[in-house]
Amino acid sequence: MKPLIIALALVLAAPLPAAASAHPRPPRDLRQLAQQNGINIGSAVDVAVLRDEADYRKVLNREFNQVTAENAMKWESVEPQRGVYTWDDADALVESARRNHQQVRGHTLVWHNQLPAWLTTGVEDGSIDATELRAILRDHITTEVRRYKGKIRAWDVVNEVVEEDGTMRQSIWLKHLGPGYIADAFRWAHRADPHAKLFINDYNLEWNAPKIETTLSIVKDLQAQGVPIHGIGFQGHLGIQYDYPADWANVMRRFADLGLEVAITELDVRMVLPVTPEKLATQATYYSRALTDCLSVKACREMTVWGFTDRHSWVPGWFEGEGAACLLDENLAPKPAYQALLTVKRPR
């Protein structure tokens, strides 16, 4: 055989490089899945558990390229007494993320829950008036965002400001400051860190029509005022006893059409106990559909689960008789939902 023919035969017989393969290897874990699909896949983190449990720490850092403080950045955690800040847990999470090449989502700057007692008591007894309350809110946002300037990819600036019926939530912020507090919060956060992405975040936004329409109106109004708002967060607290929100991807697109980045920020899928193989299979479908919906919308850049192990899930404490909402069980063993996520690919 002539040398040229031999050389050609060898080239044709050689295996294709991995990048050219028509069937790339499936991802080995969620972090690789995130990399392959060009998104962030994150988890909420209990900082005390992060410190105390080596197996929790190992799985978190192996699986996720983004983290959210479950409680450590909320107001009652960082300023339990007026003017007395406790940054240890929030700092620990940010530093852990730096060491493990993870981005951080800040949660949350303005909420009606988990406020320090000194603040709520002062408003209720009249010792803090509207002028002082506005200054307190401005200082809180400015102090926290500035502390982590350049270290946090995105902030949930305002959280859960719309009721189920589409009316504005009657929080202390709305009652005492009026609806303008939302625009103020975004402006103050942007001033403190001009490079952070700023989000409005809410639950049941996946399907609740009145809440969707009101939130769209809020975003449009903020944009008309020139307020720096960059993203919409769908919490995604689902339950298999309810239908999957079939129109979720289209709802995402409605916000994306306004120029917003889209994120699933607190995904979990609970079930009525006891656990059965059939329930786990349904749960797996809900998780994979959520990621599929996200990947079908170009503006969706993140899917964060609200805790990754049933060992430390918030669900049993809030929903009596329900649980098993996470991707891993109490022993950190992957459930069918975890395996289902690894099969999801961005549509071409």
Instruction: Catalytic residue, from 63, 206, 266, 302: name it.
Output: 266
What digits encode the pLDDT tens for the residues 8-36? Answer: 344 334 444 444 344 468 899 999 999 99
Is there a catalytic annotation at residue 144? Answer: no
The pLDDT assigned to 25 comes to 82
The pLDDT assigned to 347 comes to 86
Report the chain's terminal Cα–Cα distance, integer Å. 43
What pTM was estimated for this model as a whole?
0.92
What digits encode the pLDDT tens for the residues 101-154? Answer: 999 999 999 999 999 999 999 999 999 999 999 999 999 999 999 999 999 999
Give the percent of the chain with pLDDT over 90.
Answer: 92
What digits encode the pLDDT tens for the residues 66-107? Answer: 999 999 999 999 999 999 999 999 999 999 999 999 999 999
Which one, of 199, 293, 288, 223, lies nearest residue 253 by Cα? Answer: 293
Q: How many other CB atoms are there within 10 angstroms of residue 345's CB atom?
A: 15
Distance (Å, rounded) from C-alpha 207 to C-alpha 275? 26
The pLDDT assigned to 348 comes to 80
Query: How high does pLDDT run on average in the chain?
Result: 94
Look at residue 1 and tell me whether its pLDDT is greater than 60: no
What digits encode the pLDDT tens for the residues 301-337? Answer: 999 999 999 999 999 999 999 999 999 999 999 999 9
Look at residue 4 and tell me whether its pLDDT is greater than 80: no
Burial 325-334 (b: 16+ CB within 10 A, else e): bbbbbeebeb
The pLDDT assigned to 329 comes to 98
- Domains, in order of start, for the chain: 34-341 (3.20.20.80)
What's the burial of 310, exposed, middle or buried (CB within 10 Å: 0-12/13-18/19+)?
buried
**DSSP 8-class letter at 193:** -
Look at residue 183 and tell me whether its pLDDT is greater than 60: yes
Look at residue 175 and tell me whether its pLDDT is greater than 50: yes
